[in-house]
Amino acid sequence: MSLRFAVALIGLVALASCYSQQIDPMEAQPKLRPFAASRLFADASAMRSPPAGTVPMERTLDESAPTFNAADLALGREKFDIVCAACHGLVGDGDSVVATKMSLRPPPSLHEDRIRALTSDYLYAVIRDGYGLMPRYSDRLSVHERWQVVAYLRALQLSRHAPIAELPDDLRKQLEANP
């Protein structure tokens, strides 16, 4: 490397570092970095725990036991029919026009044993983040609507796997009379 080239390079690097501090003063300001030690706090750690009761933005307050009523299921159904059914079919069995056009990995039937075994949290995350070839739907469905869709999807899955004995009396009799 010639001397002239080396000098030019050092000059350039020095210039770039001044420039980045000018452009981004936060880069240069005093601050505590994650996992650094700090004398400010009794536990000597720069990282703080969030105050008690803090919840992530994307969580319903009572996520451990969300309760849904018939109105939620109806809204979940409405959203499912609008957003999901185009690919997964109105009853979730993967029978849709779009599915016939997606030859690489078509939308699966949501009644498959593997998908029935997935947790509701996971289903929620599939709607929020997408999965493989399936795009995310977080811009189309609010947090609450995503849970309503999950609840409706659970109801859809149950509809194909409910034991006859668990049906209400009138429905069971109707079915037994006309199998």
The residues that touch ligand HEC, with contacts defined as CB under 6 A, are 83-84, 86-88, 98, 102, 105, 107-108, 110, 115, 123, 126-127, 131-134, 137, 149, 153
Per the structure block, which two tokens stand in for 48?
Answer: 């703080």
Is the CB of 45 or the CB of 120 nearer to ligand HEC? 120
Smallest distance, Å, CB 69 to ligand HEC?
20
- Nearest residue (CB) to ligand HEC, 9 versus 133: 133
Nearest-angstrom CA–CA distance, 125 and 121: 6
Minimum CB separation of residue 115 from ligand HEC in Å reads: 5
Residue whose CB is less far from ligand HEC, 63 or 128: 128
Residue 66 main-chain phi, psi, to 5 deg:
-65, 135
Q: How crowded is residue 149: how many other Cβ atoms within 10 Å of its Cβ?
A: 25
Amino acid at the residue 159: S
Tell me the closest approach of the beta carbon of residue 169 to ligand HEC, in angstroms. 32
Q: Least separation, in Å, of the C-beta of 13 and ligand HEC?
A: 45
- The identity of residue 143, as a single letter, is V
* Residue given tokens 């490397």 in the structure block: 1
The residues near 167 (Cβ < 8 Å, ≥ 6 apart) are 175
Beta carbons within 8 Å of 32's beta carbon, 6+ residues apart: 38, 40, 46
- Amino acid (1-letter code) at residue 14: A
For residue 145, the minimal CB distance to ligand HEC (Å) is 9
Nearest residue (CB) to ligand HEC, 137 versus 147? 137
Q: Which is nearer to ligand HEC, 43 or 121 (CB)?
A: 121
Can you tell me the distance from the alpha carbon of 42 to that of 53, in angstroms, rounded to the nearest whole number? 22
